[in-house]
A and B are shown apart, each in its own frame.
Chain A
């Protein structure tokens, strides 16, 4: 069965510190997709990144980077030089591809990140 675990419920760091949000997933499928979404205090859900199971290249986008490791079933998210605007709840999600499996999308419970000035 699918499962996404975000063990860090809350993280608080001082501005400009680097911070890593962990995401561990479980799936029996060989083809799947992983996502990160951001939910700022205003409440909307914003897509950040998608990664498919065949692409283990790490990705960097400005201050954000993602480390996908199939060997440990992890898809961690790092913010470098954090800023107050990064304060939000971050969700990791898993989606299995193909009609043979349920087309469900499973979200982790989220990590609340607070950046202190």
Chain B
């Protein structure tokens, strides 16, 4: 089954404790992206990756890191989480968003993160 998986689905942590949210897709998609969803703000893009070893900042990258060492995986790293990073996080993937244009994204189920 074609899907995007995220782990964990729920996480409660404390300020400053490093954490990683994993994201994996089995559709051989080049483009992967992380979003956070907050009430009244919709989805805001944190980081995206056009392909392996190619990543770039979205609109709200502060406090986050990503890596793309393999095509299927795109982990989101919070080196020192703070309460303002409490949010619902979505990973997504799609075919290449390059010159061929935009393709619809397939979203993971979401990770609800609470930072105390």
Contact = CB atoms under 8 A, between A and B. Distances in A.
A48 to B, nearest CB: 9
B101 A104 contact: no
Interface residues of B, number: 30
Contacts of A103: 31, 48, 50, 56, 97-98
Given A104-B58, A110-B42, A35 B107 contact: no
Contacts of B99: 97-99
Contacts of B59: 104, 106
A104 B45 contact: yes
A85 interface: no
B1 interface: no
A95 B31 CA distance: 13
Contact of A31 (B43, B101, B104): B101
B29 interface: no
Contacts of A104: 45, 48, 58-59
Interface residues of A, number: 28
A47 B101 contact: no
- Give the one of B35, B43, B48, B50 with max A CB within 10 A: B43
A110 B41 CA distance: 8
Interface string A46-80: 01001010000000000000000000000000000
Nearest to B90: A45
Contacts of A35: 102, 104-105
Contacts of A97: 97, 99-102
A110 B43 CA distance: 8
Q: Which 6 A-B pairs have the closest CB atoms?
A: A33-B102, A95-B102, A45-B107, A109-B42, A47-B104, A107-B43
Interface of B: 31, 33, 35, 40-45, 48, 50, 56, 58-59, 88, 90, 92, 97-107, 109-110
9 contacts: A35-B105, A44-B109, A45-B92, A45-B105, A50-B103, A95-B97, A98-B98, A99-B98, A103-B97
